[in-house]
C-alpha cells in the first residue's frame, strides 16, 4: 500500500514540491513554480527586488504566499494524489525573515477557502518586504551584536556562527533601529521556513533547531533562545519569536484551507519546516559523519555532518543543527549560480554553449585566474563587488567560462580546510549539478569522485523524507534515519565523475596561485 508524503521547498527563485511513496521508494511527483516568470507584476529578478545598493536584498513575502496556491493548483490538476498524503513538511531559504502584525494569528487560523491565500493574508504584514540571505547591509549591526557577546570566538561558541550580515539577528536589529514604529507593530517574527509552515498548519509555527541556528539568536548547545543574544539584538524580542522545536515536531493537522480547496487529506499532519541546507542533508543521505555535499543552487554551499560541535577558527563557517539531531557544518558562497549566469549571459550563451566553452579551455586554464565577486561575497568577506581577472582577457569566452567555475571550486577547497575532513567523495546537488562539465571541474579540483542524484531538488526531497520520519515517529512507529533515506538518497549508479589523472598536479599549482591572488585582493 502506498504511503505518500509531501515536501515543499521555498527557495530563492522558486517553490518546489516533491511527493514520495515511502513504500515503493519512488518520487511520484515533482514540480516547481518559478517566481519571476509566474508573478512578473512584482518585478523581482532571480526572486529578489533589484536595489540601487547591491547590499540591500529583499523579497515580497506575498510572492511565496501566492506561489503556494499556484503550486497546490498545479498538483491538484496533475493528479498528485493529495488526498492520500499522510504528512507535509518543508524547506525554506535560510535566514530570511517575515514580520507579522496582531492580525496574523487570527487570519492564519481562519483561512477562508473561498478566497486565495493572498487575499486572506494581505493585511497581516508589519513589514511589506523580507530581507533574505543575499542581503549584506547589516555590517554595523553585526559588529554591535558581536562586541556585546564578547567577540568573534565567543559569538560562534554561543550561537554556532559569528555574526553574519544575512543572519536574522543582525537583520532584526537593523529593522528595529531604522523602522522603530514598524518594529513596535510587529507581533511575530518568522523565518521563511516557519512562515510557510504557518500557512500549511493554519497557526503560528515554531522555528526548528536547524534553521534557528542560522539566526545568531539560538544557543547552539542548549538549543534554546540565547538570552544575551536576544538582548544584544532588540528590545522585547523574545515575545516576538515563536518557540523553538526539534525538526521532527508535528504542529497539528494541515489547515482545512488546503483540504477544502485542493482536496489535500484533511488528516494529513503538518510538520515544522527547516532550512534548505539542513533539508538537503537528509535529501542527500548525509547521515554519517564525514560525508560531504556541495549544493550549486542560487548560492553554492559546502556542507557535511558532524557528531560534535566544532567551530571554524577563522569565523567563515557555520554550525547548524541537522534534522537528525546531529550538527551540520556549512560554508556559504554567495557568488554561485548567479555569477556563472553572468558569465554565460555576457557571451550570449545557453548552458550547453557555456559547457562547450568551458571544456574547450584546458584544466588549469593555462594559469588564467578570475576572482568572481559579481556580488558582495560572504566567503571570503568581500564588501565591494568587483570581478578581477589575472592573465585573463575579458573577451576570452572559454577562458572566462572555465575561470569562473575553477575559481568557485578552488575557493571551496581553500575555505573548507578547517573542517578537517579528508574528502573521499562528494555528493552534488542544486540546479547546476545537472551540468556534467561543472562537476568535472569539481572532481578535478577536490581530487575525489563526485556523485550525482536523480533529482536536483534535494531540499524538497529531504523535506518529504522528514515528513515521513516525523509521521512515523508521531504514530509510534519510529524508523531509523538510514532506513528512511534508503532508496531515495542513493546516488545514480554509475554516475561517479572521477578526477582526471593529471588533475592533482595541475590544480596544486593553480590553488597556490589563486590563494595568493585572493589574499592580495581581500587582504585576509
Binding site for ligand ADP (CB under 6 A): 11-14, 297-298, 337, 340-341, 351, 430-432, 434-435, 438
Beta bridge partners of 390: 369
Nearer to ligand XUL, 298 or 324 (CB): 298
Edge-to-edge strands, sheet with 327-333: 318-321, 327-333, 300-306, 292-296, 426-429, 450-451
Residue 163 site contact among ligand XUL, ligand ADP, none (CB < 5 to 8 Å, cut-off depends on kind): none
305 binds ligand XUL (CB under 6 A): no
Q: Which of residues 150-209 bind ligand XUL (CB under 6 A)?
A: 166
The whole-angstrom distance between residue 139's C-alpha and the CA centroid of its chain comes to 21
Residue 277 site contact among ligand ADP, ligand XUL, none (CB < 5 to 8 Å, cut-off depends on kind): ligand XUL
Nearer to ligand XUL, 48 or 204 (CB): 48
CB of 276 to ligand XUL, least distance (A): 5
Nearer to ligand ADP, 159 or 435 (CB): 435
Nearer to ligand ADP, 11 or 324 (CB): 11
Residue 14 site contact among ligand ADP, ligand XUL, none (CB < 5 to 8 Å, cut-off depends on kind): ligand ADP
337 binds ligand XUL (CB under 6 A): no
Nearer to ligand XUL, 160 or 202 (CB): 160
Residue 133 site contact among ligand XUL, ligand ADP, none (CB < 5 to 8 Å, cut-off depends on kind): ligand XUL
Distances (CA, A) of 300 to 47, 118, 431: 16, 31, 10
Alpha-carbon span 157 to 309, nearest angstrom: 9
- 339 near 485, Cβ under 8 Å? no
CB of 396 to ligand ADP, least distance (A): 20
Alpha-carbon span 341 to 46, nearest angstrom: 11
Peptide bond into 380 cis (omega under 30): yes
Nearer to ligand ADP, 25 or 436 (CB): 436
b/e map 477-506, b = 16+ CB within 10 Å: eeeebeebbeebbebeeeeebebeeebeeb
Q: How many residues bind ligand XUL (CB under 6 A)?
A: 15
CB of 376 to ligand XUL, least distance (A): 13
Beta bridge partners of 10: 15, 92
Q: Which of 285, 286, 214 is nearest to 487 (CA)?
A: 285
Distances (CA, A) of 3 to 41, 58, 465: 39, 38, 12
Alpha-carbon span 401 to 405, nearest angstrom: 7
292-296 and 300-306 strand pairing = antiparallel
283 binds ligand XUL (CB under 6 A): no
Nearer to ligand XUL, 206 or 431 (CB): 431
CB of 515 to ligand ADP, least distance (A): 25
x/- binding map, residues 262-281, to ligand XUL, per CB under 6 A? -------------xxx----
Q: Which of residues 85-124 bind ligand XUL (CB under 6 A)?
A: 93-95
- 440 near 426, Cβ under 8 Å? no
Q: Which of 163, 301, 365, 446 binds ligand XUL (CB under 6 A)?
A: 301
Q: Which of 281, 258, 274, 257 is nearest to 85 (CA)?
A: 258
Interface with ligand XUL by CB under 6 A: which range of 53-61, 173-181, 251-259, 296-304? Answer: 296-304
In the bound state, the residue with its beta carbon closest to ligand XUL is: 94
Interface ranges with ligand XUL (CB under 6 A): 12, 93-95, 133, 166, 214, 275-277, 297-299, 301, 332
Amino acid at each position: 500500500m502506498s504511503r505518500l508524503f509531501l515536501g515543499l521547498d521555498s527557495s530563492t527563485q522558486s517553490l518546489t514540491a516533491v511527493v514520495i511513496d515511502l513504500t515503493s521508494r519512488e518520487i511520484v511527483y515533482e514540480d516547481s513554480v518559478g517566481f519571476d516568470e509566474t508573478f512578473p507584476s512584482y518585478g523581482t529578478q532571480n526572486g529578489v527586488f533589484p536595489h540601487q545598493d547591491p547590499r540591500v536584498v529583499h523579497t515580497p513575502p506575498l510572492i511565496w504566499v501566492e506561489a503556494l496556491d499556484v503550486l497546490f493548483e498545479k498538483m491538484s490538476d496533475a493528479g498528485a494524489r493529495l488526498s492520500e498524503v499522510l504528512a507535509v513538511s518543508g524547506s525554506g531559504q535560510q535566514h530570511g525573515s517575515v514580520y507579522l502584525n496582531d492580525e496574523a494569528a487570527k487570519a492564519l487560523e481562519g483561512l477562508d477557502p473561498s478566497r486565495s491565500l493572498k487575499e486572506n493574508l494581505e493585511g497581516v504584514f508589519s513589514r511589506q518586504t523580507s530581507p533574505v540571505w543575499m542581503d549584506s547591509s547589516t555590517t554595523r549591526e553585526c559588529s554591535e551584536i558581536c562586541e556585546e557577546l564578547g567577540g568573534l570566538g565567543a559569538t560562534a561558541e554561543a550561537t554556532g556562527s559569528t555574526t553574519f550580515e544575512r543572519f536574522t539577528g543582525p537583520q532584526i536589529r537593523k529593522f528595529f533601529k531604522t523602522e522603530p514604529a514598524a518594529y513596535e507593530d510587529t507581533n511575530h517574527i518568522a523565518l521563511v521556513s516557519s512562515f510557510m509552515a504557518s500557512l500549511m498548519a493554519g497557526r503560528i509555527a515554531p522555528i526548528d533547531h536547524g534553521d534557528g541556528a542560522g539566526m545568531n539568536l539560538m544557543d547552539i548547545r542548549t538549543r534554546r533562545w540565547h538570552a544575551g543574544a536576544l538582548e544584544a539584538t532588540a528590545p522585547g524580542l523574545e515575545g516576538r519569536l515563536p518557540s523553538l522545536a526539534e525538526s521532527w515536531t508535528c504542529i497539528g493537522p494541515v489547515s482545512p484551507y488546503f483540504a477544502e480547496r485542493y482536496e489535500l487529506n484533511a488528516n494529513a499532519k503538518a510538520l515544522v519546516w527547516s532550512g534548505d541546507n539542513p533539508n538537503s542533508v537528509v535529501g542527500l543521505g548525509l547521515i554519517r559523519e564525514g560525508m560531504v555535499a556541495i549544493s550549486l543552487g542560487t548560492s553554492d554551499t559546502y556542507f557535511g555532518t558532524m557528531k560534535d560541535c566544532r567551530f571554524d577558527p577563522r569565523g567563515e563557517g557555520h554550525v547548524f543543527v541537522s534534522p537528525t539531531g546531529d550538527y551540520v557544518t556549512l560554508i556559504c558562497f554567495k557568488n554561485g549560480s548567479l555569477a556563472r549566469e553572468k558569465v554565460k549571459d555576457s557571451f550570449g550563451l545557453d548552458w550547453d554553449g557555456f559547457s562547450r566553452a568551458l571544456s574547450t579551455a584546458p584544466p588549469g586554464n593555462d594559469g588564467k585566474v578570475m576572482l568572481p565577486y559579481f556580488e558582495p561575497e560572504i566567503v571570503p568577506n568581500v564588501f565591494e563587488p568587483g570581478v578581477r581577472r589575472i592573465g585573463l582577457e575579458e573577451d576570452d569566452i572559454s577562458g572566462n567560462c572555465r575561470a569562473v567555475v575553477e575559481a568557485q571550486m578552488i575557493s571551496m577547497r581553500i575555505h573548507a580546510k578547517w573542517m578537517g575532513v579528508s574528502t573521499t567523495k562528494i555528493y552534488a546537488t542544486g540546479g547546476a549539478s545537472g551540468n556534467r562539465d561543472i562537476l568535472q571541474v569539481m572532481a578535478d579540483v577536490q581530487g575525489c569522485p563526485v556523485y550525482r542524484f536523480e533529482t536536483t531538488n534535494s531540499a524538497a526531497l529531504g523535506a518529504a523524507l522528514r515528513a515521513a520520519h516525523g509521521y512515523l515517529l508521531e504514530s509510534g512507529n519510529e524508523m531509523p534515519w538510514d532506513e528512511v533515506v534508503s532508496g531515495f538518497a542513493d546516488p545514480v549508479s554509475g554516475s561517479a565523475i572521477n578526477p582526471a589523472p593529471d588533475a592533482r598536479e595541475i590544480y596544486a599549482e593553480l590553488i597556490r596561485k589563486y590563494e595568493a591572488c585572493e589574499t592580495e585582493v581581500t587582504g585576509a
